[in-house]
Amino acid sequence: MLKNKELSEFLKPQGKVNYPDAELVRNCQAELADALDRLERLSNPDTAATIQNLKSELAAFSARISLIGQVKAGKTALTNALIGIPDLLPSDVNPWTSVITSIHINTPQPHGKNAIFKFFTREEWQNLITVNGELGEQSGRANQDDELAELRAQVTAMQRRTEARLGHNFGMLLDGYHSFLGFSPEMIKKYVCLGDDDAQNEGRYADVTRSAQIYIKNENYTLPTVLYDTPGVNDPFLLREAMTLANLSETDICVVVLSAHQAFSTVDVGLLRILLALKHKELVLFVNRIDELEDPDRQIIEIDTFIRDLLAEQDLPRELPIVFGSAAWAELASAGQTEMIDTANEDRLAQFAVARSTRIAGSSVTLLEDAKPGSAQMAATKTFDLSGLHELQAILAEKSAANVGRPKLDSVRSRALDISRQSLIYLQQAAKSTSSLRADLDFDAFIDDLDNTMKEADEACNVIAHDLSEKVLFLMSSTFRDFMLSGKASLKAHLAENKDIKEWRPDSDKLRRDLNLAHDEFVKAAPRQVDRVFSETATKIERIYATVLEDSTRLFAVAPPVSASPKTPVSLMRTMKIDFQTGWVKSWFAQKFNQDSYIKKFETISRTEMKRTLKEMEDVYVIEFLKEVRTQLFEFLSEHIRTLQNLSLLGGEAQRLQVMRQLGVDTEVRHRIAELQNVVAQLETLFQPSVEPEMLRSGSVATS
């Protein structure tokens, strides 16, 4: 048997941990922050608010990573491992996470506060059971009073239990929060975990807590990161599932935690539903509890093949990153406490390590040259980091840099560059002894042109949103109608053969895949077409500057903003009544209807879901996307309108001299121009030469 010290080597990464792409983004973030500080000092005063917003946006940047999975999949233990603080968040067998807990790593934090627990507002608490509130809204789509009554009873019992437990303190908690300078596992357990009803402290505030925020520092994270530990997607309390799904629509990266014992073995429709709705680049699968497998070396290969085959059946990429590991081992590995591994786990780890090492030593398999983190080859061949912790961290670091950090920083850089160039043009014109502005220009006419340009661009974006939403809504409604036709035919045939209604299932998986394909059309087309409008608008602005300035050397390329992306509708992730795996339809399964009644009920349920999904898509997500685009357009054009207004003040010598007196002495202005030229050059070369994100082999671990 391997000694404990030797075993610990199998939990370590191979070589020195290094995340070059994340380090590049961090360095660029620091350089961009420096450029914004300089720009704030040098640019026109009327750009101060915009620059301050850019600075705030840059400072608030973080990669948002959500861990989701079934109840008891091991999400919380894995979160503890990722943050490097074993047992911080309670992961016992009895209590389970009932509140979305966010761990803010290396992010700005409220002054003097490391832990903040926010409670429901009075309105939210009351709305849990009102017809127009969360419960009524969820049950309304079922159109069945008995189910609404059942859920209302569930929520009412929870509320009464909470109010009785908290006594007179209850009313003081609503609309408020608790905040602390420090925190402990015992404290956190009071706010985020449901325990036994008679527990005195465990879960004392959990029912009334809306969110929990913990702030820590961790040098292992190159980029600011927020980890979200969520309630299970199969939580028996539907409102907690709803809050988890709402969080996922805002997340950047999603880690789906599965149990090695049941990794999709029962085709977990809840998780598949979420996988289908999220963008593929956001996904990582972590198969937990390999420490409980009888033969991890062999079974990991089998489970990996099974999952990848299932992904392919669901039209998801087979090459999605899948990491196999043990949160229990990972917690010890992250804190350097591998000597604390218990006897059972020590034996299982030793068995795994010996079997894997022996098999690899006797084969021609190569690892470091060929395997990528999350690949099937990595799962089958690595003889280090058997907890999976470092492999998962490497994938998250690369995705945080490539899919979150670089796009965010490039967006801020582009807007800062546009402001820098406008300020530079203005100062250069003010400092010239002879104005290069063309004579007899009607600046009011140019500003009117920009106003018209804004209206035209706004209308073009309106048309894009309208036309594309009509297309996606038509595709979605057609998908629902095809589903209803095939479902009714299938149900009719099933009943004609006198089969039990409980044995029938409509093909809701295909429905969801087709709905996601329709939404993908909107996600791909809308930003692309809006970007075209933004680009055409930037070209029109360039022409105006070309008309205003006689000296062609003063011209610059106007950088258009990058269109926002539509968000994923929660309706494509949540449990629908038509899924038929939930309690929503058990009531009419248990009743005896004739054939036509069953078919009509199925059609009614399907139409209700169709109306709900289409309404949410049209009234929420399309409008929200259009609102974001309009805000981008307004801010972009407003800056250039102000620049033209400022240039109009330089049309005459007397006016120019007055502006110069406001700006300062000539040498000071020329110094500002020189510094601004450096800022422009700095911003133009940021991220250049372009380095495509690429993880080092062996999970961004550079051997030293």
Scan for tokens 């800022």, then name that residue: 679
Q: Could you tell me the CATH number of the domain that includes residue 380? A: 3.40.50
Q: Are 303 and 328 within one domain?
A: yes
pLDDT of residue 479: 95
Q: Are 647 and 659 within one domain?
A: no
Quote the percentage of the chain above a pLDDT of 70.
Answer: 78
- Gap between the Cα atoms of 637 and 643, Å rounded: 10
Structure tokens at 650: 């330089």
Instruction: Say if residue 650's pLDDT is above 80.
Output: no
Q: Are 327 and 191 within one domain?
A: no
- pLDDT average, residue stretch 298-325: 91
- Residue 249 CB: number of other CB atoms within 10 A? 15
Q: Are 522 and 449 within one domain?
A: yes
Q: Which among 373, 375, 378 is positioned nearest to 398, based on CA atoms?
A: 373
Higher pLDDT, 289 or 663: 289
- Gap between the Cα atoms of 577 and 295, Å rounded: 40
Is residue 697 one of the residues assigned to a domain? no
- Gap between the Cα atoms of 82 and 87, Å rounded: 12
Structure tokens at 415: 């807007």
- pLDDT average, residue stretch 461-484: 94
Range of the structural domain that residue 288 is part of? 1-21+63-91+241-363+370-421
Number of H helices, E strands in the chain: 25, 13
Compute CA 513 distance to the chain's CA centroid, rounded to the nearest angstrom: 21
Higher pLDDT, 176 or 73: 176
Q: Are 131 and 85 within one domain?
A: no
- Say whether 574 sits in a helix, a strand or coil: coil
- Say whether 102 sits in a helix, a strand or coil: strand
Instruction: Say if residue 250's pLDDT is above 50.
Output: yes
Instruction: Say if residue 401's pLDDT is above 90.
Output: yes
| Range of weakest confidence among 592-601, 663-672, 676-685 | 663-672
Is residue 185 one of the residues assigned to a domain? yes
- pLDDT average, residue stretch 502-525: 87
pLDDT of residue 129: 56
End residue of a domain, out of 421, 455, 487: 421
Phi-psi region of 636 (alpha: psi -120 to 50; beta: other; left: phi over 0): alpha
Q: Are 517 and 540 within one domain?
A: yes
Is residue 379 one of the residues assigned to a domain? yes
Q: Are 313 and 377 within one domain?
A: yes
Is residue 34 one of the residues assigned to a domain? no
- pLDDT average, residue stretch 76-99: 79
Q: Are 16 and 69 within one domain?
A: yes
- pLDDT average, residue stretch 240-244: 68
Q: Are 503 and 598 within one domain?
A: yes
The pairing of beta strand 101-105 with beta strand 225-229: antiparallel
Grade residue 439 by pLDDT with cuts at 50, 70 and 90.
low
Instruction: Say if residue 566's pLDDT is above 70.
Output: yes
Grade residue 699 by pLDDT with cuts at 50, 70 and 90.
very low
**Max avg pLDDT among 20-34, 238-252, 540-554, 679-693:** 20-34
- Give the ranges where 432-568 is alpha helix by DSSP (H): 443-496, 508-548
Is residue 522 one of the residues assigned to a domain? yes
- Give the ranges where 207-342 is alpha helix by DSSP (H): 238-248, 269-277, 296-313, 327-334
Q: Dihedral sign, CA of 309, 315, 321, 323?
A: negative
Grade residue 200 by pLDDT with cuts at 50, 70 and 90.
low
- pLDDT average, residue stretch 45-59: 92
**Max avg pLDDT among 132-136, 261-265, 498-502, 676-680:** 676-680
- Gap between the Cα atoms of 259 and 293, Å rounded: 10
Structure tokens at 41: 């000092």
What are the beta bridge partners of residue 595? none
- pLDDT average, residue stretch 599-610: 88
Q: Are 538 and 602 within one domain?
A: yes
- pLDDT average, residue stretch 434-441: 64
Phi, psi of 215 (to 5 degrees): -115, 125
- pLDDT average, residue stretch 453-467: 94
- pLDDT average, residue stretch 296-315: 91
- Gap between the Cα atoms of 365 and 367, Å rounded: 7
Q: Are 171 and 72 within one domain?
A: no
Summarize pLDDT for 93-145 with one digit per residue, the tens. Answer: 444 567 889 999 999 988 889 999 999 888 877 776 554 444 445 444 444 45
| Range of weakest confidence among 359-368, 406-415, 663-672 | 359-368
Summarize pLDDT for 256-301 with one digit per residue, the tens. Answer: 999 998 777 554 656 776 777 777 678 999 999 999 999 999 999 9
Torsion of CA 306, 270, 373, 59, to 10 degrees: 180
Instruction: Say if residue 642's pLDDT is above 70.
Output: yes
- pLDDT average, residue stretch 75-95: 81
Q: Which among 242, 243, 272, 241 is positioned nearest to 256, based on CA atoms?
A: 272
Is residue 233 one of the residues assigned to a domain? no
Q: Dihedral sign, CA of 128, 133, 139, 144?
A: positive
Q: Are 630 and 515 in contact (CB under 8 A)?
A: no
Mean pLDDT of the chain: 81
- Gap between the Cα atoms of 133 and 85, Å rounded: 38
The tally of domains found in the chain comes to 4
Is residue 609 one of the residues assigned to a domain? yes
Q: Are 211 and 151 within one domain?
A: yes
- Gap between the Cα atoms of 685 and 678, Å rounded: 11
Q: Are 252 and 400 in contact (CB under 8 A)?
A: yes
Scored b (16 or more CB within 10 A) or e, 331-350 reads bbbbeeebeebeeebbebbb
CA contacts within 13 A on the Cβ side of 529: 21
Is residue 412 one of the residues assigned to a domain? yes
